[in-house]
Amino acid sequence: MQQVQAELRQRRGITIMMAIVFLLLVIGFITGGLALVLFAPPGLGNTIFGSVLICLGLLIGFLMTRTVAHIELTSDRIITTRWLVRWSKEYELSELETVLPLRSATSPLATAITDAWLKTSNRGYQLRFSGRREVNLIRGDMIDVDVFMEQLKEVLGTKWKIIQGN
């Protein structure tokens, strides 16, 4: 096991919000859909609506499991851990192709508010690896993105200038 150079963790507020959304939407939709299908008076409308609720709950749950909650940087790889399912995925630093800044696609007012809240216009970074794989380091979701990026620069050394995007 290699020594961890840097870590990124999800902000506690984001984790609490995701837990509430999970309970309300995922569990709520699946439970409500099952109740409609099993206990409502027989009818095509109840069955279809209940099935749609179940599918919607499963879809939201699936999308929530794609969220990265923890990222570790070692001397030769980045290890991500997903929220809820705790699956880990490893990315070799030798396969890192580009590092790009994340751009905001919101209105000017929302962008100004977010800039003031984060005290920067930088939203985070996207690390692109070979094979169309990517890891997003979102400043609003994660703690210490800048420290992580400094450690990544240090680990990559001269390769940093080659892979850094515009």
CA distance 18 to 63: 11
pLDDT per position as a tens digit, 70-93:
899 988 899 999 887 888 999 999
Do 50 and 102 have their domain in common?
no
Do 60 and 97 have their domain in common?
no
Whether the per-residue pLDDT at 63 is higher than 50: the answer is yes
Whether the per-residue pLDDT at 166 is higher than 50: the answer is no
Whether the per-residue pLDDT at 1 is higher than 60: the answer is no
pTM of the model: 0.73
pLDDT per position as a tens digit, 101-116:
877 666 888 778 877 8
| Helix ranges (DSSP H) in the chain | 12-21, 28-39, 44-65, 108-118, 145-156, 159-163
CA distance 81 to 68: 6
Task: Check if the beta carbon of residue 139 is closer than 8 Å to that of residue 114.
Answer: no
For residue 4, is it within any domain?
Answer: no
Do 49 and 75 have their domain in common?
no
What pLDDT was estimated at residue 165? 58
In which domain, by residue range, is 52 found?
A: 14-64
Looking up tokens 């290890």, which residue turns up? 79
Do 94 and 139 have their domain in common?
yes
Do 56 and 83 have their domain in common?
no
CA distance 38 to 58: 18
pLDDT per position as a tens digit, 17-37:
888 989 999 999 999 999 999
Do 57 and 77 have their domain in common?
no
Whether the per-residue pLDDT at 55 is higher than 90: the answer is yes
For residue 50, is it within any domain?
Answer: yes
Do 75 and 129 have their domain in common?
yes
Task: Check if the beta carbon of residue 1 is closer than 8 Å to that of residue 77.
Answer: no
Do 97 and 22 have their domain in common?
no
